[in-house]
Amino acid sequence: MIHLGSLRVCFVVTLGLLIATENLSAGDAKLTATLKGHTDEVYALAFSPDGKTLATAGQDVSIRLWDIATGKERFILRGNVKNEKLNFTVWALAFSPDGKTLASSGHEDVIRIWEVATAKEKATLKVPQGVIRALAYCPDGRTLASGCTDGKIRLWDTGTDKEGATLSGHSNAVEVLAYSPDGKSLASGCYNGVIRVWDVATNKPRATMWQHTEKFKSIAYGQDGTTLVLAGADSRVRLLDAERLKEKAIFKGHTDCVVSVAFHPNGKTIASGSFDGAAVQWDIATGKGRMVYESKDDGVYCVGYSPDGKILATAGGDGLIRLWDVETAAKPTK
């Protein structure tokens, strides 16, 4: 557990060298809103492309759409079928690039497509077997990628809602997906710690796979498309060269599994959330971490920046969504 009242030594590994930096410091983040409505743990959040709406979902099966300007709940989406053999969990959310559609997947074998304006379910996309763990829209809006427990990545035509190509290569459940900002590459990570980057034009692996000893929980591209940030069970946040899949840096400070990471739109800052109850912002250039939030009782399971970079949203074990003034949270250490 990382405590705000104390300081924990933070290290950065750069180009294979371990360099001690300043202590992970207590931040002075300003909490601007706490959104209440979920009755259980929250595992997924996503901002709409215009930044006006935040979608959240988790253990209570509901998907909630929040008005960022007012902090009020706009809609509750309830379409994921309860199954006594499963955990009722919604694992993944993704807005289409035009913001008109929201895709969700849970502990079932379908993707649910929602019309954001009406909160109506407009389509269900069914996979042959397994549970869908990850979703990502291609930036051109024409394709929705899904990662499944059968190790396959399925590409769906958003115009017809039909399944197109299937990417095979992972030997275990695909847990994370992310498209590069230019839409030319798709990064995927599976339960056994393998990362692959796929060429979207050919559906072939673009880079040699990268193998880790721990399973991954989150992946994201930087805005320039040259860097990937990864998070996983070893409590570290890693930066990889997106083309060669070579390690560029490792940020250490969390004391438990890191389950969510996000790049700030400026490409200079990363946010992370962990089972240890901490949400941290990392300065990529210096490796310094500043605490945004810490809970003594509940993990932070998801983090995400608004498209304009002004808000950081965090959510987790207590079912609350917190919105933070990032300009305050990221104030330089004196």
- Give percent of the chain above pLDDT 90: 67
Overall domain count for the chain: 1
Q: Is residue 334 part of a domain?
A: yes
Q: How confident is the model at residue 193 (pLDDT cuts 50, 70, 90)?
A: confident
**Whether pLDDT at 142 is above 70:** yes
Structure tokens of 279? 């949400």
Per-residue DSSP letter, 315 = E
Q: The pTM is what?
A: 0.88
Position 85 in a domain: no
Tell me what pLDDT residue 84 has.
45
User: Is 64 inside a domain boundary?
Assistant: no
Residues 284 and 292 sit within 8 Å (Cβ to Cβ):
no
pLDDT value of residue 70: 95
pLDDT tens string 120-138: 999 999 998 888 999 999 9
Q: Determine the pLDDT at residue 107.
A: 82
pLDDT for residue 292 is more than 50:
yes
Which domain covers residue 321, as residue numbers?
Answer: 10-39+212-334
Instruction: Identify the pLDDT of residue 153.
Output: 96
What's CA 216's distance to the chain center, in Å? 11
Does the residue 133 lie in any domain?
no
Is it the case that residue 334 has pLDDT exceeding 70? no
Query: What's the pLDDT tens digit per position in 35-75?
Result: 999 999 999 999 999 999 999 999 988 899 999 999 999 99
Tokens (6 digits) for 218: 């989150």
CATH number at residue 249: 2.130.10.10
The residues near 130 (Cβ < 8 Å, ≥ 6 apart) are: 109, 148, 149, 150, 152, 173
- The chain-wide mean pLDDT, for the chain, equals 86
Whether the pLDDT of residue 303 is over 50: the answer is yes
User: In which band, very low, low, confident or very high, does the pLDDT at 331 lie, cut at 50, 70 and 90?
Assistant: very low
25-29, 71-75, 224-228, 235-239: least confidently modelled range: 25-29
Assess if residue 153 is contained within a domain: no
Flag whether 71 is in a domain: no
The per-residue pLDDT for 41 is 95
167 HSE (CA, 13 A, CB side): 30
Looking at residue 18, its pLDDT comes to 33
The 3 state secondary structure assigned to 45-87 is EEECCCCCEEEEEECCCCEEEEECCCCEEEEEECCCCCCCCCC
Q: Is the dihedral of CA 17, 250, 177, 99 positive or negative?
A: negative
pLDDT at 16: 37
Strands 236-241 and 227-232: antiparallel
Model confidence pLDDT, tens digit, residues 81-97: 555 444 568 999 999 99
Q: Residue 59 domain-assigned? A: no
Confidence of residue 25 (pLDDT cuts 50, 70, 90): low
Domain annotation covers residue 126: no
Give the largest Cα separation in the chain, rounded: 56
CA–CA distance, 154 with 146 (Å, rounded to integer): 5
Q: What count of other Cβ atoms lies within 10 Å of the Cβ of residue 82?
A: 12
pLDDT for 28? 58
What separation, in Å, do the N-terminal and C-terminal C-alpha atoms of the chain show?
25
Could you report the per-residue pLDDT of 148-171, keeping only the tens digit for each?
A: 999 999 999 999 999 999 999 898
